[in-house]
Chain A
Amino acid sequence: MEPVLEAWELCKRYEGFSLSKVSLTLLPGTILGVFGPNGAGKTTLIKLLSGLFPPDSGEVRLFQLAYDDHEREIKDRLGYCPQEPPFYPDYTLVETARFAAPFYSRWDGALLYELLDRFRIPAHKKFRLISPGQKTLFSLALALCHHPDLLLLDEPAAGLDDANRRFLLDTLRAFAGDGEKAVLISSHVSDGLDEVVEQVLFIGAGKTLLAAEKEELLARWKWVHFRDNALDKALTAKLTAIRRHPFGSAGLCQDFPALREKLSGAMAAGDVRIENARLSDVLIQLTQGG
């Protein structure tokens, strides 16, 4: 299977920030989540992938093509929603759509107006007069309505209400579900988009912290709650982010299958309880843990 998106050792330097050597591969049918704290470089990474500007070094290929020679083909097949929708503030949504339409080979105006209807966005309102959530939705509708093969969404959940977020998740699942297209989203873990993600890429301070499959990652990372003195020193040393309190302690274990055997006795005795970790636990441990 040919990757939809590949990036090798992308570097981009700004004053006070640099993205260094981030690589990733996105296969058809997958949804990749790029997670990281504020200022980690998520937006810079997505801008590089979207071809907004070139990297200082490294290479990006979408659909096996490079921006240098195939910018139009790539962007014709790419749906990109920047964090801040960049449309003309003085154009109405209809005017914006009319402006963008002639550039695309697979423009589907009917789909656009169907989406705007569903989002209940007034199409004849000027872009600057609609709410931030509606701006995000409009950007999403524009990205979807030219039938792209890859979606790049930079914090798409910002400003969305619960129903629209649910719609976004369903849309992304259906989009990637046909097995040929792919999605990359950046997000704060806590905004509920992590449930739709299959691959995760954690970045912090411009560097890759961890790249993994989500289910595999969550099978390995678990919270271990234990009665005091139920675990010996060697076992306790395998846990991180340990919280101690008088009613039992808890620690984050990074490789549960390896510990399961050793913990089974205490688990049967009720002295150890295991709970699933969340992606945010993993991210916080990776960025702040010692």
Chain B
Amino acid sequence: MLNIMRRSSFFYLTHFMTFSLMPLVGSQGAALFVFLWLPSSVLWSERGESYAFLRLLPIRDRDVVRAKLSLGLAAVFAYWAWLTLLALVQWGVSAEFFARFSLINLLASAWPPLVALCYLGVWRLGARGMTFPLLTLMGVAAFIVLVLERRYFPHRWGDAGWGLPAAPWFLQVLLPLVGLGVFLLLARLGPRVKGDNDEHLQLP
């Protein structure tokens, strides 16, 4: 199981490395870019996957599903932790920090379901079948992200204005929990979706 995760993690790592430099050069809306980075990691790592090979090995489908989704969730956590850490380093424990922390939490609650959906799509349509839909989706997302960033984070180089006030505390707790709940639900669907479809078994 560890070797499956290790192989799949290559694109997650390269993606995370490029991403982690981004806030340092000043993009305030980095949290929004995670919506692009996650599907991209899934897509490129899955394009190199050979499920026909994994099906030949003595390992159950549900363990493969668990390995992949664990990796996705680990990536989500890494992005969340990195953004939080940066905000903390920059602002200390202050009102500005909590404004950013609140925003990070709200956005991050959508990431686990997003990762799970990407994987389900790959198991349903195959990585090659998912390439076009995902790239289109990411294109649309990129457009929205850039517009949002301009609207809410106008000072690209400045330190001011995250634009949003801190969300109420219960939303900050509730929404991530809902996100995780949806992730777990989708994860339970994983083995069924994978078992019922053949397209992902095509060779890389």
Contacts and interface: CB of A to CB of B under 8 A. Distances in A.
Interface of A: 50-54, 71-76, 80, 82, 84, 86-90, 98-100, 102-105
A99 B50 contact: no
Given A86-B203, A88-B7, A50 B56 contact: yes
Interface in B53-106: 53, 55-61
B52 interface: yes
Contact of A84 (B7, B55, B59, B203): B203
A82 B52 contact: yes
Contacts of B7: 88, 99
B133 interface: no
Contact of B48 (A54, A84, A90, A102): A90
Contacts of B56: 50, 52, 75, 80, 82, 86
B180 interface: no
Interface in B188-204: 195, 198, 201, 203-204
Contact of A54 (B50, B58, B195, B204): B195
Contacts of A74: 58
Contact of B59 (A82, A88, A103, A105): A103
Residue from B53, B58, B198 with most neighbouring chain A CB atoms (10 Å): B58
B57 A51 contact: no
Contact of B3 (A51, A87, A102, A105): A102
A141 to B, nearest CB: 14
A72 B59 contact: yes
Nearest to A80: B56
Contacts, number: 53
A88 B52 CA distance: 10
| Interchain residue pairs A-B with the least CB separation, the first 9 | A86-B52, A75-B58, A76-B58, A86-B53, A103-B57, A72-B58, A86-B50, A103-B58, A52-B55
A99 B2 CA distance: 10
A247 B116 CA distance: 74
Nearest to B2: A102
Given A99-B7, A103-B58, 9 more contacts: A52-B55, A53-B55, A53-B201, A71-B58, A71-B60, A72-B60, A82-B56, A88-B50, A100-B57
A73 B58 CA distance: 7
B101 to A, nearest CB: 40
A104 B203 contact: no
B58 A88 contact: no
Interface in B1-36: 3, 7
A73 B55 CA distance: 13
A19 B53 CA distance: 23
A87 B58 contact: no
Contacts of B3: 98-99, 102
Nearest to A86: B52
A122 B7 CA distance: 22
Nearest to A139: B56
B201 A52 contact: yes
